[in-house]
């Protein structure tokens, strides 16, 4: 029995061998009002019907005692689309994708099995759209393909490369517009495996730096936008804005990075006149200029790994050196490292753990071994948790004052903007004023379009003012926080959090009039403190399909064992009843003929 659209009218037909030799019986347009019986004359009953010669007609292959017989078909009057796909992040042939084709009232939905095939659309001159849901959950569109006289042979539709999960986004009002600051809570992944049987422990709180150039008051208010735009669910328990005044000529950085326990303790580093390095990559290139300052020019002494291993790269090093005279008398030495990481995901981590040619190795510091080579100075030091972020690493006891060189080794797709050496004592005066949110409004927004840049190695940033025409995923099934005022949920760390899904936005406002005047000769920057978690829906993330199970601060791991459970006292039961009343939003509108074609809804 064969099932295919034999007359290319857009309806599925079923064919089976007739009792008469060389005939196939058929039932055309199964399940429709135009379903009719038919028979086809063939020399022999075929084992395969496919368009083998590319003329947009079905050809028959029969197996005979002495070999194969090919019978070329005659083209029907109807038009067709020849479809083929190439996976990039997923398997090469796209097996497992769901393909939908719409041409006015004609609609086909196919489970993709990896082979190019014909999709009939009747007498229509063009398709309205082709929508592909790839195995990793990303949705991709092709709009309006002209079918010409009879068909479009087209070309392979290649899977778009990009992240489906990393963490929520943060935007800030800079005095003129909302600008993308960074992704946040990247250190808090739930259910993320590094290898079979090995899950990443989430670090549930983070301080995120915003500079004076990124955040400005508008009518006495600082305004931030916290959004969930990837295939994730976020659980946000606490937000605070720390306003940090410090002397001009100093820089501040939170003590944050992605690492395994023990997690960094809260601290605000102060840095004064850090030293730029002489830098040579394992590719033989001088990267000194790229690493001298935070200026959006990046060192990249590697080649990215194949697309199935997004986030990994060829093994590479950066050899860094400083003048001996400049570090000889320093009591404290710290690396100030700014860059961005192209996030891997659960599927990449699991695949690389099984592939001897791929390995996830975070940055490791290496020191001269006295024999012309290098030796590891210890375990991996971690990496910046997002784009673009800074981390500070104390090397006071590692760096030889008489030979101030070190080497950085990694296999991550990690783009360094600046690696400088601080020789001051981390002792600049700070004046910190904590601002609680004045208001917090949860609303449904949609998805930002990515910004474009002609500069090399840029992180993907997003344009607040431009919404994407089509969404790329639905929200996790489950219950979300009701829309509107959610300020009561963000005042303390209590496991009564705001639950956001894909396409949600949270507008946060802080009263800038409560701040003291900025002293002359001082600068004002900001640290946003957030506590919470994020969970993506990668096929290999554990317990990833639904909003539940909910995380909580006393859990020993995620997913947590049967002996642990989310708090079930009256306060948390009331929170569930009163706040978690919103059903998951379905962003992906049906494209069946009974639905109008539209963008996001």
Does the residue 16 lie in any domain? yes
The yes-or-no verdict on residue 600 having pLDDT over 50 is: no
Q: What is the mean pLDDT of residues 341-368?
A: 95
pLDDT at 43: 73
Q: Is 485 in the same domain as 563?
A: yes
Q: What is the mean pLDDT of residues 526-543?
A: 96
- CATH number of the structural domain spanning residue 136: 2.60.40
Q: Is 347 in the same domain as 381?
A: yes
Does the residue 269 lie in any domain? no
Q: Is 515 in the same domain as 552?
A: yes
- CATH number of the structural domain spanning residue 351: 2.60.120
Q: Is 440 in the same domain as 542?
A: yes
Q: Which of 266, 271, 276, 269 is nearest to 251 (CA)?
A: 271
Confidence label for 22 from pLDDT (cuts 50, 70 and 90): low
Please write down the HEC assignment for all residues of 172-220: EECCCCEEEEEECCCCCECCCEEECCEECCCCCEEEEEECCCCCCCECC
- Whether a cis peptide bond, with omega within 30° of 0, leads into 559 is yes
Map residue 487 onto helix, strand or coil: helix
Does the residue 254 lie in any domain? no
Please write down the HEC assignment for all residues of 579-600: HCCEECCCCCCCCCCCCCCCCC
Q: What is the mean pLDDT of residues 300-311?
A: 94
Q: State how far the Cα of 356 lies from the Cα of 360, in Å rounded to an integer.
A: 11
What is the enclosing helix (H) or strand (E) of 347? helix 346-353
Contact status, residue 199 vs residue 191, Cβ threshold 8 Å: yes
List the single range of 25-39, 93-107, 483-497 with lowest mean pLDDT: 25-39
Q: Is 171 in the same domain as 137?
A: no
Query: pLDDT of 201-236, one tens digit each?
Result: 999 999 999 999 999 999 999 999 999 999 999 999
Q: Is 375 in the same domain as 450?
A: no
Strands 59-64 and 98-103 turn out to be unpaired
Q: Which of 544, 509, 589 is nearest to 217 (CA)?
A: 509
Q: What is the mean pLDDT of residues 520-538?
A: 97
Does the residue 267 lie in any domain? no
Please count the other Cβ atoms lying within 10 Å of the Cβ belonging to residue 171: 23
Q: Is 231 in the same domain as 355?
A: no
pLDDT at 599: 46
pLDDT at 467: 96
Q: State how far the Cα of 268 lies from the Cα of 182, in Å rounded to an integer.
A: 18
Q: 351 versus 89: which is more confidently predicted?
A: 351
Q: State how far the Cα of 164 lies from the Cα of 473, in Å rounded to an integer.
A: 9
Q: Which residues contact 322 (CB under 8 A, 6 or more apart)?
A: 275, 277, 278, 404, 405, 421
Map residue 250 onto helix, strand or coil: strand
**Final residue before a domain boundary, out of 389, 423, 457:** 423
Q: Is 362 in the same domain as 337?
A: yes
What is the span of the domain harbouring residue 369?
274-423
Confidence label for 20 from pLDDT (cuts 50, 70 and 90): low
pLDDT at 150: 53
pLDDT at 21: 65
**Final residue before a domain boundary, out of 388, 406, 423:** 423
Contact status, residue 447 vs residue 468, Cβ threshold 8 Å: yes
Query: pLDDT of 40-72, one tens digit each?
Result: 667 777 788 888 887 888 888 888 889 998 888
**Backbone dihedral angles phi then psi of residue 243, each to the nearest 5 degrees:** -95, 120
Please count the other Cβ atoms lying within 10 Å of the Cβ belonging to residue 537: 22
**Backbone dihedral angles phi then psi of residue 73, each to the nearest 5 degrees:** -90, 160
pLDDT at 74: 79
**Final residue before a domain boundary, out of 54, 76, 98:** 76
Does the residue 524 lie in any domain? yes
Q: How many helical (H) and strand (E) elements, i.e. helices and strands, does the chain have? A: 3, 43
DSSP labels for 256-288? --B-SSSPPPP-EEEEESPBPPEEEETTS-B-T
**Domain total for the chain?**
4
The yes-or-no verdict on residue 338 having pLDDT over 50 is: yes
Q: What is the mean pLDDT of residues 166-172?
A: 92
Q: Per residue in 225-255, is it b (16+ CB within 10 Å) or e — as a string? A: bbbbbbbbbbbbbbbbbbbbbbeeebbbbbe
Contact status, residue 238 vs residue 532, Cβ threshold 8 Å: yes
pLDDT at 601: 37
Q: Is 494 in the same domain as 368?
A: no
Does the residue 261 lie in any domain? no
Instruction: Give the end-to-end CA distance of the chain in Å, rounded to a whole number.
Output: 41
Does the residue 265 lie in any domain? no
The yes-or-no verdict on residue 6 having pLDDT over 90 is: no
Query: pLDDT of 551-599, one tens digit each?
Result: 999 999 999 999 999 999 999 999 999 999 999 999 998 988 888 875 4
Q: 394 versus 597: which is more confidently predicted?
A: 394
Q: State how far the Cα of 4 lies from the Cα of 9, in Å rounded to an integer.
A: 11
Tell me the pLDDT of the chain averaged across its residues: 92
Q: Is 500 in the same domain as 572?
A: yes
Does the residue 44 lie in any domain? yes
Q: Is 95 in the same domain as 194?
A: no
Q: State how far the Cα of 431 lies from the Cα of 522, in Å rounded to an integer.
A: 10
Query: pLDDT of 419-478, one tens digit each?
Result: 999 999 999 999 999 999 999 999 999 999 999 999 999 999 999 999 998 888 899 999
Contact status, residue 229 vs residue 448, Cβ threshold 8 Å: yes
Q: Is 22 in the same domain as 166?
A: no
């Amino acid at each position: 029995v064969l099932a295919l659209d034999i007359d290319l009218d857009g309806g599925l037909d079923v064919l089976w061998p007739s009792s008469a030799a060389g005939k196939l019986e058929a039932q055309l347009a199964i399940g429709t009002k135009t379903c009719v019986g038919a028979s086809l004359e063939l020399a022999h009953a075929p084992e395969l019907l496919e368009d083998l010669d590319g003329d947009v007609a079905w050809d028959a292959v029969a197996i005979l005692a002495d070999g194969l017989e090919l019978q070329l078909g005659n083209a029907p009057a109807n038009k067709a689309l020849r479809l083929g796909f190439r996976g990039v992040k997923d398997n090469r042939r796209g097996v497992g994708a769901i393909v939908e084709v719409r041409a006015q009232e004609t609609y086909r939905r196919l489970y993709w099995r990896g082979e190019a095939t014909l999709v009939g659309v009747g007498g229509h001159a063009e398709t309205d759209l082709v929508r592909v849901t790839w195995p990793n959950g990303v949705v991709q569109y092709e709009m309006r393909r002209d079918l010409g006289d009879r068909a479009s042979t087209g070309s392979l539709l290649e899977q778009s490369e990009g992240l489906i999960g990393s963490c929520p986004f943060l935007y800030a009002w800079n005095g003129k517009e909302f600008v993308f600051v960074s992704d946040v809570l990247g250190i808090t992944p739930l259910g993320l495996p590094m290898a079979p049987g090995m899950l990443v422990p989430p670090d549930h709180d983070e301080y995120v730096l915003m500079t004076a150039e990124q955040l400005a008051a508008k009518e006495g208010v600082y305004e931030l936008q916290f959004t969930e735009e990837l295939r994730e669910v976020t659980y946000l328990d606490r937000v605070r804005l720390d306003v940090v005044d410090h002397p001009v000529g100093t820089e501040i950085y939170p003590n944050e990075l992605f690492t395994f326990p023990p997690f960094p303790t809260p601290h605000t580093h102060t840095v004064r006149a850090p030293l730029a390095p002489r830098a040579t990559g394992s590719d033989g290139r001088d990267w000194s200029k790229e690493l001298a300052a935070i200026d959006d020019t990046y060192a990249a002494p590697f080649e990215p790994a194949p697309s199935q291993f997004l986030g990994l790269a060829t093994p590479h090093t950066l050899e860094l050196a400083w003048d001996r005279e400049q570090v000889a008398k320093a009591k404290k030495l710290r690396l100030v490292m700014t860059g961005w990481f192209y996030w891997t995901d659960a599927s990449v981590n699991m695949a690389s753990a099984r592939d001897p040619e791929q390995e996830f190795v975070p940055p490791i510091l290496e020191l001269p071994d006295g024999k012309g080579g290098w030796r590891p100075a210890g375990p991996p030091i971690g990496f910046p948790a997002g784009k673009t972020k800074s981390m500070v690493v104390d090397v006071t006891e590692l760096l030889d004052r008489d030979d101030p060189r070190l080497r950085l080794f990694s296999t991550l797709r990690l783009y360094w903007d600046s690696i400088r050496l601080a020789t001051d004592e981390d002792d600049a005066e700070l004046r910190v004023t904590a601002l609680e949110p004045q208001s917090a409004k949860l609303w449904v927004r949609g998805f930002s379009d990515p910004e474009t840049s002609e500069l090399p190695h840029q992180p993907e940033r997003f344009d607040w003012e431009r919404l994407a025409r089509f969404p790329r995923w639905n929200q996790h099934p489950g219950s979300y926080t009701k829309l509107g005022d959610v300020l009561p949920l963000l005042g303390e760390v209590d496991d009564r959090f705001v639950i956001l899904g894909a396409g949600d936005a949270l507008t946060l406002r802080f009263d800038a009039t409560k701040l003291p005047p900025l002293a002359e000769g001082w600068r004002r920057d900001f640290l946003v403190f957030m506590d919470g978690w994020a969970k993506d829906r990668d096929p290999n993330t554990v317990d990833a399909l639904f909003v539940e199970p909910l995380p909580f601060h006393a859990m020993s791991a995620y997913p947590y064992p049967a002996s642990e459970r989310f708090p079930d006292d009256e306060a948390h039961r009331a929170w569930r009843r009163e706040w978690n009343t919103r059903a998951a939003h379905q962003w992906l509108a049906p494209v069946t003929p009974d639905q109008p074609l539209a963008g996001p809804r």
